[in-house]
Amino acid sequence: MPSAPAPTLLSTEHLAMMDGGVSVIVSSCGADLTPSVMRAVGSHIGDGGRHITVFVCRSQSTRLLRDVARSARLAAVFSQPSTHRTVQLKSRSARLREATDADVPALQRYLRGMEGELTRIGFGAVYARAMLAHRLDDLVAIEFEPELAFDQTPGPKAGQPITGAA
């Protein structure tokens, strides 16, 4: 009998926000603990939040990609520009792969979501397209399973662990 999938750390509300095309910042660190940080140009939330993929431009992310390849450690922050609602995820099992044509629908969906978010706060779709511009052959997909989740929305609960899909 197949085992049940692991429970997700995130509520359906968190997942809907994260999957709506929100700002994603990805980070890791080197062996000397020097941080590496980069804006993702796309993301995909899979398997009810148990499997997440973020996309970064190789040409802009050399240090981050080296750090993830070395340590498999990753933190990703998903923040909704129109509300500042923010979730931070951490993993010790991140993996790198080349982006493929199969990723294009997720990248397009992410771009449409960010165009909408940035338009709501006074920046147009042109700004979103410029900020997230990329070539598919320059993208690297970073896949991970979240192990820890934190509410990072500014306010009294900032930094508190998210303890489950309640």
Please give the average per-residue pLDDT across 5-17, as a whole number.
82
3-state secondary structure of 122: coil
Instruction: Say yes or no to pLDDT of 144 above 80.
Output: yes
The pLDDT assigned to 151 comes to: 93
Upper half-sphere CA count for residue 8 (Cβ side, 13 Å): 16
104 occurs within a structural domain: yes
Q: CB neighbours of 22 closer than 8 A, spacing ≥ 6?
A: 78, 79, 80, 81, 113, 114, 117
- Mean pLDDT (whole number) for 54-78: 98
Does 135 reside within a domain?
A: yes
Helical ranges in 28-147 per DSSP H: 62-71, 104-120, 125-131
Q: Average pLDDT, stretch 32-44?
A: 97
Q: Whole-prediction pTM value? A: 0.92
Q: Where are the alpha helices (DSSP H) in the chain?
A: 12-18, 62-71, 104-120, 125-131
Number of folded domains that form the chain: 1
Q: What is the token pair recorded at 144? A: 């991970």
Q: Which two tokens stand for residue 119?
A: 């338009």
Q: Which two tokens stand for residue 86?
A: 């923010």
Is 157 within the bounds of a domain?
Answer: no
Q: Which residues form the domain of 126?
A: 12-152
Find the CATH number of the domain harbouring 22: 2.30.110.10
Q: Average pLDDT, whole number, for the chain? A: 93
The answer as to whether 96 is a domain residue is yes
- Given the DSSP bridges, would you call strands 42-46 and 86-91 parallel, antiparallel or unpaired? unpaired
Residue 119 is assigned to a structural domain of this protein:
yes
**Residue at 40 is within a domain:** yes
| 164 located within any domain | no
pLDDT of residue 8: 78
Would you say residue 158 lies in a domain? Answer: no
